[in-house]
Structure 1
Amino acid sequence: MSDTWPSELKVSKDRRLLTVRFNDGVVVTLPAEMLRVLSPSAEVQGHGPGQKVTVPGKRNVAIKSMTPTGNYAVRIGFDDGHDTGIFTWTYLRELGETGAEKFAEYEGELVAKGLSRDPR
């Protein structure tokens, strides 16, 4: 188990941001859209190499629920019905540190596939 864990998880009033305060004092703010499109779920990541899905149309997605999963993660449900992503503390920290780069890659994938962040 990681030595880093959250001391606070806080969803913004508009449900579009998750702020995570870690026990070492680091605070990260993660947009719901980024959490949704980079979800660690098999639905998004696939079941093996080369199966990752580029999820379009999630610009306005909001966090609907958060359910603790053991001592190591939280399951985040979104208002589009997706609720199978189990976000470990390590992955939330990783998104806080490298999420901007991962999201930029996602945006590049959207362009390459002729897709958009905007809902249809």
Structure 2
Amino acid sequence: MVEERFASEAGGTRHWPRELRLNRAERVLSVTFDDGSHFDLPAEYLRVESPSAEVQGHTPAQRRWLGGKSGVAITGVEPVGHYAVRLTFDDGHDSGIYTWSLLHRLGRDHDTLWPAYLAEIAARGLSR
């Protein structure tokens, strides 16, 4: 199992990570926050929920629904200042900047966001 670790100290954001751990073999980014919450975020989920304009568009109507990402992997985790990380994926996507608050929200709301994504791509005739 290959892991990369990034530890943080308390700072000026609402949700501050204590540890980010990339498990390449399982294609999961694990995040532990200072409020005690811990989330295991699959690479596929992070890729299809990327905050980049390429995925989110500039308005909700421009949101792009991606299929075919079930096998995607995270190839890199790069700190961006003291507030976020840039994730690089093996499909070439690297323009999403994941703030600590976004990572916390994606973890907290996974049980709502993931089924909504699956329903939306099914409605559009796409598969994972």
Same fold (TM over 0.5): yes
The equivalences for 1:1-120 within 5 A come to 1-14=12-25, 16-117=27-128
What amino acid does structure 2 have at the position aligned with 1:54?
A: W
What amino acid does structure 1 have at the position aligned with 2:37?
A: V
What amino acid does structure 2 have at the position aligned with 1:108?
A: A
Tell me the secondary structure at the aligned position of residue 25 of structure 2: coil
What amino acid does structure 1 have at the position aligned with 2:123?
A: A
How big is each residue's C-alpha offset from its partner over 1:64-93, in whole Å with a ceiling of 9 and x where there is no partner? 101111111000010000000100000000
d(CA) in 2 for partners of 1:100 and 1:60? 20
d(CA) in 2 for partners of 1:111 and 1:36? 17
Q: Which structure is richer in relative contact order (CA contacts within 8 A, separation 6 or more)?
A: 1
Q: Which runs of 4+ in 1 moved over 4 A?
A: none
Q: How many residues get paired?
A: 117
Identity score, percent: 50
When normalised by structure 2's length, the TM-score is 0.87
Supply the RMSD in Å over aligned alpha carbons: 1.1
When normalised by structure 1's length, the TM-score is 0.93
What amino acid does structure 2 have at the position aligned with 1:41?
A: S
d(CA) in 1 for partners of 2:56 and 2:15? 24
For the 8 Å contact 1:32–1:63, the answer to whether it is kept is yes
For the 8 Å contact 2:78–2:85, the answer to whether it is kept is yes
| Structure 2 residues not aligned, in runs of 5+ | 1-11
For the 8 Å contact 1:21–1:28, the answer to whether it is kept is yes
How big is each residue's C-alpha offset from its partner over 1:18-51, in whole Å with a ceiling of 9 and x where there is no partner? 0001122211110000000000000000012300
For the 8 Å contact 1:15–1:64, the answer to whether it is kept is no
